[in-house]
Amino acid sequence: MTALVRRVSGTAAVVLAALCASACSGTTGGTAEPGPSSSAPADPNVPKVPAPLDVSAYTAKPCETVPSSVLSSLDYTAPGQAHTGSAGDTAAGPYCAWIAGAAGLSVQVGLLTGNRDRGIGGLAGLYAGKASGQVGFLAPAPDVAGYPAVYTDLRDRRASGDCSLDVGIADDLVFSVSAQGYQGQQDSCQAAGTVAAAVVSTLKGA
């Protein structure tokens, strides 16, 4: 699970692996129940989402969250590869990955419904993971089309051209965008922001 999900959702994968291991308790028939961490007091520093967005129409087709016109403007012309099954790499939620051929660039979009369903979703789950030491790097990011966002990763790799962005679209749900293989922070985070804005637009039905 760790390698593939980490590429998609940065710190969200760490939150899933670490918090689920420590917070999920008592299983019946294979169903994990959220433990005490899911009922912790709300962190007043976590931005709230005033107008939640629904991702249910795209969980089976995550590659359709980003229009081809946006992808081609970033030199992604090949179809994305969707991951929607029950394998370990989709434990955090379904995702789509695109690769820009010989350029060595990649971008991924993850709909982190798996984290939500385990009670560790949303920006609150990421902030809680950071506070407990289970998340390596988290920093506020500019809002994306009016929705709160944070930069996340196992460690801050933006200067080396890898930028992971998580956008809160409900108080218990984020989607993630990871742009990798770029020249530096400006290029990678600009690409991630462009893709993230496109996802918000799609989810709003624009």
Confidence of residue 206 (pLDDT cuts 50, 70, 90): low
Q: In total, how many domains does the chain have?
A: 1
Query: Is residue 167, in this structure, part of any structural domain at all?
Result: yes
Tally Cβ neighbours within 10 Å of residue 52.
Answer: 14
Identify the H or E element spanning 189.
Answer: helix 185-203
Alpha carbons 152 and 78: distance in angstroms, whole number: 27
Which contacts of 61-65 are long-range, i.e. CB under 8 A and separated by 24 or more positions?
62/94, 62/95, 62/96, 62/109, 62/110, 62/111, 63/96, 63/98, 64/202, 65/96, 65/109, 65/111, 65/175, 65/198, 65/199, 65/202, 65/203
- The answer to whether residue 94 is domain-embedded is yes
- Predicted TM-score of the model (pTM): 0.82
Q: Give tens-digit pLDDT for 33-69.
A: 333 333 344 676 799 998 999 999 999 999 999 999 9
In a domain, residue 39? The reply is no
In a domain, 92, yes or no: yes
Burial class (CB in 10 A: 0-12, 13-18, 19+), 136: middle
Q: Tell me, what CATH number does 76's domain have?
A: 3.40.1000
Domain assignment present for residue 146? The answer is: yes
